[in-house]
């Protein structure tokens, strides 16, 4: 058996030299050192050896095993010094990194922003945690207005809440600037609504505000029609319908022909053939007075639109919650 032991030693010494990575080292270990490896087989062979030769052969075998183990460990630590960790294989091929894309909501938001910027609007920002005064009071909501109800608003304390719309940013802008003002105010808003495929407790709005001497309803119409044509296409039909908001008077909702069914009526437009895309109106004199503006001198218009619904319609998305799940299989499609 002694020659076999010598033979195995030579083979192991030769093979360890060609081991170049962690997986080859593991192969080496399995071949020689594992429980069913070649050294273990020789140990098994001891049983068939005459008893008087066993101690000497056993000793040689133990030495062989220690030697091969050393060869293995030496190689393992040489990998470890290179990589800092024996389990890291520097010779492995690199993995291709994933390059992200802009979130579909932000793509929509950016497009809207650039249209208004091209029409001379600036961009303003406000806090998502608001006080009751900016979210409601200053915007001419009567104290008992249903929108203040706990069902719609996430209150943090009696006076602090998550803003339910971007309109409070109007107030903050006017408190800090004198007319002329021409800004849009994009951001997140929160409402305590039942979550479903059509509505989520957080969504996005773009608010707009223009205040100056002699601003009229026709300026509002001209600006918003220009926006609609640039964003949705110049051949789309639109219409203004009178409505009510506490902070504007007169107020209107703007509808466009449902581009899913082309006005015929479908699930998306609830068979109406029209989609409501934004609310707007002339800033209520009470709102202007609340920020200390002279209502004899200045008038203004404002508007607000939800972004998530626009993006849903645009990309044909079935469930609004997909926007916020961060599933790369969804996000990769945009």
Nearer to ligand DAH, 220 or 313 (CB): 220
User: Per-residue x/- marks for ligand DAH, 202-221, CB under 6 A?
Assistant: -----x--------------
Write down the least CB distance from residue 251 to ligand DAH, Å.
Answer: 6
Scanning 7-15, 123-131, 269-277, 298-306 for contacts with ligand DAH by CB under 6 A, the matching segment is 298-306
- d(CA 178, CA 45) in angstroms, rounded, equals 98
CB within 8 Å of 191: residues ≥ 6 apart: 152, 153, 154, 164, 201, 203
Q: Does 248 bind ligand DAH (CB under 6 A)?
A: yes
Side-chain-side CA neighbours of 190 within 13 Å: the count stands at 15
Write down the least CB distance from residue 180 to ligand DAH, Å.
Answer: 17
Write down the least CB distance from residue 94 to ligand DAH, Å.
Answer: 49
Nearer to ligand DAH, 104 or 281 (CB): 281
Side-chain-side CA neighbours of 305 within 13 Å: the count stands at 21
Nearer to ligand DAH, 140 or 167 (CB): 167
Tokens representing 205 are: 């709005």
Nearer to ligand DAH, 148 or 165 (CB): 165
Among 28, 121, 203, 245, binds ligand DAH (CB under 6 A): 245
Among 135, 304, 309, 323, binds ligand DAH (CB under 6 A): 304
Q: Does 279 bind ligand DAH (CB under 6 A)?
A: yes
Write down the least CB distance from residue 326 to ligand DAH, Å.
Answer: 26
Nearer to ligand DAH, 244 or 325 (CB): 244
Nearer to ligand DAH, 8 or 179 (CB): 179
CB within 8 Å of 130: residues ≥ 6 apart: 160, 161, 162, 163, 168
Residues in the chain: 334
Q: Does 281 bind ligand DAH (CB under 6 A)?
A: yes
- d(CA 58, CA 229) in angstroms, rounded, equals 91
User: Per-residue x/- marks for ligand DAH, 142-181, CB under 6 A?
Assistant: -----------------------x-x--------------
Among 280, 312, 317, 320, binds ligand DAH (CB under 6 A): 280
Instruction: Enumerate binding residues for ligand DAH (CB under 6 A).
Output: 165, 167, 207, 245, 248, 279-281, 302-304
């Amino acid at each position: 058996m002694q020659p076999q032991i010598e033979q195995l030693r030579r083979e192991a010494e030769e093979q360890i030299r060609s081991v170049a990575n962690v997986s080859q080292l593991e192969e080496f270990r399995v071949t020689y050192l594992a429980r069913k490896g070649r050294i273990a087989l020789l140990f098994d062979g001891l049983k068939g050896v005459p008893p008087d030769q066993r101690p000497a052969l056993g000793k040689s075998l133990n030495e062989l095993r220690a030697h091969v183990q050393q060869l293995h460990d030496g190689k393992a630590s040489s990998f470890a010094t290179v990589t800092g960790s024996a389990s890291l294989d520097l010779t492995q091929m690199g993995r291709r990194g994933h390059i992200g894309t802009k979130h579909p909501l932000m793509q929509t938001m950016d497009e809207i922003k650039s249209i208004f910027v091209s029409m001379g609007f600036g961009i303003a920002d406000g806090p998502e945690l608001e006080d009751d005064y900016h979210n409601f009071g200053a915007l001419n909501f009567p104290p008992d207005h249903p929108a203040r109800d706990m069902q719609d608003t996430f209150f943090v304390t009696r006076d602090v809440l998550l803003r339910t719309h971007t309109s409070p940013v109007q107030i903050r802008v006017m408190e800090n600037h004198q007319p002329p003002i021409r800004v849009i105010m994009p951001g997140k808003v929160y409402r305590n609504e039942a979550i479903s495929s059509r509505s989520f407790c957080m969504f996005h709005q773009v608010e707009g505000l223009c205040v100056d001497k002699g601003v009229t309803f026709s300026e509002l119409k001209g600006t918003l029609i220009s926006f609609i044509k640039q964003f949705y296409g110049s051949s789309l039909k639109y219409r203004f319908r009178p409505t009510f908001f506490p902070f504007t008077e007169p107020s209107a909702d703007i509808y466009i022909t449902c581009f899913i069914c082309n006005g015929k009526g479908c699930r998306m437009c609830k068979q109406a053939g029209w989609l409501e895309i934004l609310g707007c109106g002339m800033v209520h004199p009470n709102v202007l007075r609340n920020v200390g503006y002279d209502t004899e001198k200045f008038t203004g218009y404002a508007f607000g639109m939800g972004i998530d619904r626009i993006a849903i319609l645009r990309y044909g998305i079935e469930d609004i919650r997909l926007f916020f799940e961060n599933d790369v299989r969804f996000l990769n499609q945009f």
